[in-house]
């Protein structure tokens, strides 16, 4: 099988697939149109996020048997068209679930204990103790939306901090020793921390909007390591200003490029997030550890080999 690699990934992908007699070609620079012109020559593609695989692209890939994304989200692919054309879709959420879970906990600890702020103050000669009194995770009810790989890994870690973890998911009967499944209404009533672990789909676009935030009974901390467009930023900013959201941990932003490589839109809402002491922002790196880079690649290789060897 002839496979086109469109993004740089861990070298084990190349090493192990070549050892299994796959034919590999790398193209990390060609434009969308240039790749479209030659895609019919390949049986498979391995991608991250550089090029959107829309209906036009997929229909030109007449010989495609699979698309493998080194990562979890698949919103860059026209999934209904791919399925209609019989193209197998492969992703690797197992590879970075632990990285994401640790990032969630890390951001919460930094935000709730004012660690970054206090450290910067001391480095600037400011010694404030009462003003930097922290807020403990212990005893808090954490509500997760989405209970797949990322949600489960996050629940496991938060349960170790003495949190009560509840979650809402569109699939039934997912409760385990780390978290209890509840209705969305119950989650809104009980959660003191809200964390998103969902893909970006038509159903989840702006899932958390103004009315959703207003429905939350408690003032709460918000975490998003999923996709920026899962939440309406303008509504989040208003909730931060009003105090409904006590603080926000954002690894993803509504204003990111589709490739996640940078911010493509700047406005007053973004400037508020970047300047507020109540907000921590990181550049879409929750799943981006040295370990996850290797694990993501290994999961992809294992799934390709299982299906096509």
Helix ranges restricted to H, 125-209? 149-159, 184-190
Place of tokens 């989405």: 146
Q: How far apart are CA 29 and CA 32, in angstroms?
A: 10
Active-site residue, from 10, 168, 227, 232: 227
**Residue 230 has which token pair?**
């899962």
Closest Cα partner for 70 from 307, 288, 263, 283?
288
The yes-or-no answer on residue 227 being catalytic is yes
- Cβ-Cβ contacts under 8 Å for 215 (sequence gap 6 or more): 188
Catalytic residue among 69, 97, 103, 284: 284
192 is catalytic: no
Q: Residue 164 — φ and ψ, nearest 5°?
A: -95, 115
**Length of the chain counted residue by residue:** 309
For the chain, count helices (H), then strands (E).
12, 12
Question: Which one of the listed residues 256, 261, 266, 277 is annotated catalytic?
Answer: 256
**Six-digit token pair at 184?**
């969305």
Cα 89 to Cα 86: distance, rounded to the nearest angstrom = 9
Q: For each of the chain's 309 residues, which pLDDT tens digit applies?
A: 999 999 999 999 999 999 999 999 999 999 999 999 999 999 999 999 889 999 999 999 999 999 999 999 999 999 999 999 999 999 999 999 999 999 999 999 999 999 999 999 999 999 999 999 999 999 999 999 999 999 999 999 999 999 999 999 999 999 999 999 999 999 999 999 999 999 999 999 999 999 999 999 999 999 999 999 999 999 999 999 999 999 999 999 999 988 788 898 889 999 999 999 999 999 999 999 999 999 999 999 999 999 999
Query: DSSP readout, 246-276?
Result: EEEEESS-TTB-TTSSSB----HHHHHHHH-
Whose structure tokens read 């012109």?
37
């Amino acid at each position: 099988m002839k496979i086109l690699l469109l993004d740089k990934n861990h070298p084990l992908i190349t090493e192990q697939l070549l050892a299994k007699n796959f034919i590999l070609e790398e193209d990390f620079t060609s434009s969308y149109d240039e790749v479209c012109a030659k895609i019919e020559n390949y049986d498979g593609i391995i991608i991250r996020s550089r090029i959107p695989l829309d209906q036009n692209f997929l229909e030109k890939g007449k010989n495609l048997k699979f698309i493998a994304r080194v990562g979890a989200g698949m919103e860059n692919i026209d999934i209904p068209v791919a399925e209609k054309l019989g193209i197998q879709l492969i992703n690797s959420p197992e590879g970075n679930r632990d990285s994401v879970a640790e990032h969630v906990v890390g951001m919460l600890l930094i935000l709730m204990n004012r660690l970054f702020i206090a450290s910067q103050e001391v480095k600037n000669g400011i010694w404030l103790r009462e003003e930097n009194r922290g807020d403990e995770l212990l005893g808090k009810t954490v509500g997760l939306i989405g209970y797949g790989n990322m949600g489960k890994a996050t629940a496991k870690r938060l349960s170790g901090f003495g949190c009560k973890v509840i979650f809402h998911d569109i699939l039934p009967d997912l409760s385990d020793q780390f978290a209890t499944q509840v209705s969305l209404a119950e989650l809104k009533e009980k959660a003191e921390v809200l964390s998103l672990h969902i893909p970006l789909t038509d159903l989840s676009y702006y899932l958390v909007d103004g009315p959703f935030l207003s429905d939350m009974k408690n003032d709460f901390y918000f975490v998003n390591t999923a996709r920026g467009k899962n939440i309406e930023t303008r509504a989040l900013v208003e909730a931060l200003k009003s105090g409904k959201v006590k603080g926000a941990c954002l690894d993803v932003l509504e204003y990111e490029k589709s490739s996640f490589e940078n911010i493509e839109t700047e406005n007053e809402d973004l400037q508020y997030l970047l300047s507020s002491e109540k907000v921590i922002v990181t550049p879409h790196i929750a799943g981006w550890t040295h370990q996850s880079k290797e694990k993501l690649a290994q999961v992809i290789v294992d799934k390709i080999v299982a299906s096509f060897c």
